[in-house]
Amino acid sequence: MVNKDFFAALADLEREKGISEQVFIEALSNALASAYKKQSDGGVGNVEVRISPEKSSIRFFLSRTVVDSEEPLDGEISLEEAQEIKKNAKVGDVLSEEFVPKDFSRIAAQTAKQVILQKIHETERDNTLSEFSDKEGELMSGLVRKVDMKNVYIELGKGQIEGLMLPQDQVPGEKYLPGDRIKVFVKRVKSGGRNAQVLVSRSASGLVRRLFEEEVPEIKQGLVTIKSISREAGHRTKMAICSEDSRIDAVGACVGNKGARVNAVVQELGGEKIDIIPYSENPLEFIAKALSPASVISVTQLTEKSAVAVVPDEKLSLAIGRDGQNARLAARLTGWKIDVKSESAAQKLNLGEYADHGTEE
């Protein structure tokens, strides 16, 4: 075990795997000390392992503090016994003695194998994670590997790393079965140590953004810009878009010929409804468009970031949406608090003047 071949093997691993020999040595030193303590039931004091590649040696040392007691505790040595080892020893000194552990070769061989395999695994995982670090915010295709009670585990790329999809990142109503190929949004790459992982999502708004970038060349080329997205995964998404080039129909570009582009995204999202809203620098006009598919009579600003929208009586339920979803998504899309009123309610509340100040559509 303790020979030049062992240390030559460590040097080879450094070249082949890119793992520092010193990293191996530090890990092996700690592991050997721990293994010896475990074998000795822990009552041996402070064990230090010194590994020297230059001398091809592994040496064990036991450090104990000198105390003025006839019954020293673990990690201590009585003054009398200490002076038998070192004549001028005094209370408070720390004596370090070299020793050869029982069954050393077996302990060393098993421990070295475990440490080396663990370090190789950790390094390969960290290297892979490092390659994935620039994938944050990107769209990736993956294969569902395993589904437990709450989490979904997905093989990403060519299967070299596993993505974790937590319950909050799953879409209500979607079923994930082992072997399914799905597209996911990479939320976060957490690297370092045993907690390293890639967190992915199907419910994030970023998934919709990346899917449209994939389907609409004008978005990828920067000719059409996605200004904001609000989403309730599995139900409805609103996306505001615009183009600085007046010759480009931003909405038409996203919809595609006969709806081909938007339908491709809807299909990937399992039939989720998508409203494509033309963005406006005029916030009141933007609010009116955001309440689509309802038509809006007027929008009037109340405070800095709140407004009232008046809609035809027969369009009130459409404007508000089921359980308030349409109005809620419009508010998130625009960043404004929106109070939706029917035309008759507005008149009863003497809100008729709003139509004079609002933005008509």
The verdict on 22 and 102 lying in the same domain is: yes
Question: What average pLDDT does this structure show over 98-113?
Answer: 76
Residue 281: pLDDT band (50, 70, 90) is very high
Q: What pTM was estimated for this model as a whole? A: 0.66
Q: Has residue 270 been placed in a domain?
A: yes
What is the model's pLDDT at position 361?
40
Question: Is residue 152 located within the same domain as residue 119?
Answer: no
Please determine, for residue 355, whether its predicted confidence score (pLDDT) is greater than 50: no
Note whether residue 242 is domain-resident. yes
Q: Does any domain span residue 210?
A: yes
Expressed as residue numbers, the domain containing 268 is 204-279
> What are the start-end ranges of the H helices in the chain?
4-17, 21-39, 79-85, 104-132, 205-215, 217-220, 250-255, 260-268, 283-290, 316-320, 325-334, 343-348, 354-357
High-pLDDT (> 90) share of the chain, %: 52
* Same domain (yes/no): 42, 125: yes
Residue 351, pLDDT score: 61
How many folded domains does the chain comprise? 4
Question: What does DSSP say about strands 76-78 and 57-67: parallel, antiparallel, or unpaired?
Answer: parallel
Integer CA distances (angstroms), 89 to 4, 46, 62, 162, 277, in order: 37, 18, 16, 57, 84
Statement to judge: residues 114 and 8 lie in one domain: yes
Provide the pLDDT confidence category of residue 106 given band limits of 50, 70 and 90.
confident
183 and 217 share one domain: no
Whether residue 13 sits in one domain with residue 99: yes
Q: What was the pLDDT predicted at 193?
A: 54
What CATH number did the domain enclosing 359 receive? 3.30.300.20
Q: What's the pLDDT tens digit per position in 52-103?
A: 888 888 888 988 899 998 888 878 889 988 898 889 999 999 988 888 887 7
* DSSP secondary structure, 36-59, as one string: HHHHTTTTT-EEEEEEETTTTEEE
Q: Kindly state whether residue 360 falls inside one of the protein's structural domains.
A: yes
What pLDDT, in 10s, does the model give residues 245-265?
999 999 999 999 999 999 999
Q: How far apart are CA 64 and CA 47, in angstroms?
A: 9
The predicted model gives 280-297 an average pLDDT of 95
Least confidently predicted of 6-20, 133-147, 216-230: 6-20
Domain identity same for 194 and 212: no
Decide if pLDDT at 1 tops 50. no
219: in domain: yes
User: What does the pLDDT average to over 36-57?
Assistant: 79
208 pLDDT higher than 90: yes
Main-chain dihedrals φ then ψ at residue 96, nearest 5 degrees: -120, 120
Closest listed residue to residue 96, CA positions, set 38, 50, 56: 50
Residue finishing a domain among 221, 256, 279: 279
Residues 6+ apart with CB under 8 A from 321: 236, 327, 328, 329
Instruction: Give 315's DSSP letter.
Output: G
Higher model confidence: residue 181 or residue 28?
181
Whether 136 maps to a domain, the answer reads no
Question: 350 or 89: which carries more pLDDT confidence?
Answer: 89
